[in-house]
Amino acid sequence: MSSTPTVLSSDPSQALGPSLFLQVLSHLPLGSLTSCLRVSKSWAVLISSSPTTLYKPLAAQVGIEPPILDGLYTKDKATAQSSTWSNPDSTRSDSAGHEGGVNWKIVIKDYVDLQGNWKKGRARSKWICPGRNTVWRIKIDHEEGTIITTSRIDGILVSDLQTSASEPLFEYEEIGSYAHLEFVKGYAIFNSNDDRSFEIHLTPTALSKLPPERRKNLPLSNRSITHDKGYSFTLEEHYQPSPPSSGSDELAIPPRGHLTYYKSLTPRTDCFAFRARIDKQYTPEERLVFGTSSDEEAYIYDLQSESNSEMERFVYDQEDRGRPNYIEFDDSYLFICHSTSVNVYSRTTKKKLTTFPPPVTAPFDAASAIYTCYDPSRSTKKVKPNQEGEVLVGEVNVQGKWIDDNGFDGVMMASGQGRIAGREFAAVHYTSKDLFAITKSGTIYALRNYKDILAIPNPEARDRAVNANLLAIVIRESLRQLSTYGEHVVITSATSVFLLHTSSLPPGPYNTGSSDLLRPTIKLLNLMNVHHKGMGQCSCLQMDREKIYAVYWALGESEAGGTVNYEGERILPPQEAIGDFGLCVKVWDFGLDLSS
């Protein structure tokens, strides 16, 4: 007598059982997991009830920064609940049901929404108005919740970012005007204006992380140009760091936002450009470093070292000497902007690897792909905001030609040879794979996959690869500042703020043969709630994972009648932004909940 065969369900969740089915789903990327939510109601219920099981593994994959992940992991561990795998019939969330637990589905959603806001230009505008509104340079300190600014008149001011009024906390008075400022993880660096030295000052958070012996042996403040010039708005009195308290050899930790003199660095030669960053970030070998360049040499210092000598020195060849416009460096390479090109040096050999664009070349060889926006104002298509309060954004779709295409020479000629050949580089920065540089004559250069290309050992092959993967976007506006974070790139001109995502750039190389077909367009976003009067005084640009910060002349915008929204209504800056000199900070916040 034959037995009746077992009929298996066609639904994998029933055939495998909830526990095994969830294990299978936990290996899916986010897009596939999102598609599974739409298969059936039972799948959606099962997936939604298991955010830790399914979404926690995706947190690192989607790009959430390691420090934020570490905080979430710590919180999740402290509030961990039993996995749904051990109770697959439960419809309660495997983490959200516990008070204070991490709902990883919401974490992923918030991050994806944030990236979507950046790509679409969806943001709300805010203002930061420090002190007398004479801002020159700005740096954001997220650990302390403050903004550090240098002035066009004098002084270095630390203000509160945790309140809407930007209340001042601490100031170094009567410090030279127009001081440049760098900042990295609690280390503030500025030029002294008295000699070729740079001064490094620590925030309370950075000071507290020094070993006790280092805190005890910090140099006296009378060695600093800031001696007797500190004022505490918190304490409402002139301020000097307190000496070690009775029974202790350690320097007392000052109030929030108050700076403490740490040391001075004096390069061998007079330096004009400097930059601070983190080497080997997110690794146990992480170090805070500072680089600076003169006409003849460049130096990189370890800020955390007790030594005041450089740890790396680069001596330029005679033909490469001249005043630098900008300096940038990553873990492997040093980038120096000069008037007509960017020189790239190896941090291992201290030798120059390449120059881009080539210093002696016909204009047609400056880049292998040329994209030209002849008139950004006319080419911008306004996008209607989805919600009240969103800034007005315009899309600019830029067309171009590659070097072997029919008509490439015509595009180059129409773009203006001087804008390619004349150049005058203003800044250089990088994303995870691409190197960007801008010129005052109006060109954005992008060297695609720069790390792989610069690692090519043969010099001739490397130079050919640089040229083949170099793309130029020509905008007929003078470009001023450049900033990058993640895969987002922000560029300011004399009149505009442009936003670019690296995913909108066509992949190189660009010398793959001719084509009669249109090449992929490049999309720029134009943040349109600015006025050319305000942008004319934009002296600094910063960005982080959620915001763009730009020095802006609010008083100039107000006197010119403000900006115009999508409906044609005039929008004026708030009173606190136009007070005194009206030079404050305009902010675009992409981290707000703008879902609709």
285 lies in a domain? yes
CA atoms within 13 A on the CB side of 406: 4
Give the mean pLDDT of the chain: 88
Do 345 and 425 fall into the same domain? Answer: no
Check which CATH number belongs to the domain holding 41 and give it: 1.20.1280
State which of 101-115, 289-303, 412-426 shows the largest mean pLDDT. Answer: 289-303
Whether 383 and 312 share a structural domain: no
| Neighbour-count burial of 184, counting CB atoms closer than 10 A to its CB (0-12 exposed, 13-18 middle, 19+ buried) | middle
Tell me if 233 sits within 8 A of 170, measured CB to CB. Answer: yes
Say if 242 falls within a structural domain. Answer: no
d(CA 310, CA 273): 16
Is the pLDDT at 360 greater than 70? The verdict is no
Q: Regarding predicted confidence, which is higher, 512 or 165?
A: 512
**pLDDT one-digit tens code per residue, 156-197:** 999 999 876 789 999 999 888 899 999 999 999 998 766 789
- Lowest-confidence segment of 41-50, 91-100, 127-136 by average pLDDT: 91-100
Both 370 and 512 in a single domain?
Answer: yes
Do 314 and 369 belong together in one domain? no
Mean pLDDT of 318-327: 93
Shared-domain flag, residues 438 and 297: no
364 in the same domain as 470: yes
- Whether residues 271 and 385 share a domain: the answer is no
Q: For helices 41-48 and 18-25, give the axis angle rounded to 10 degrees.
A: 80
Range 222-232 average pLDDT? 91
| Containing structural domain, residue 423 | 359-527
**pLDDT given at position 84:** 43
- Are 337 and 422 in the same domain? no
Sorted by sequence, the CB contacts under 8 Å of residue 150 that are 6+ apart come out as 135, 136, 137, 156, 157, 175, 178, 179, 180, 181, 190
Non-local CB neighbours of 229 within 8 Å, separated by 6+ positions:
172, 173, 174, 175
pLDDT at residue number 544: 95
β-pair partners for 485: 488
SS3 205: helix
**What pLDDT is attached to residue 423?**
72
Q: What confidence tier does 8 reach under pLDDT thresholds 50, 70, 90?
A: low
Domain edge (last residue) among 356, 372, 397: 356
Tokens 């637990």, located at residue: 101
Query: Confidence band (pLDDT; 50, 70, 90) for 578?
Result: very high
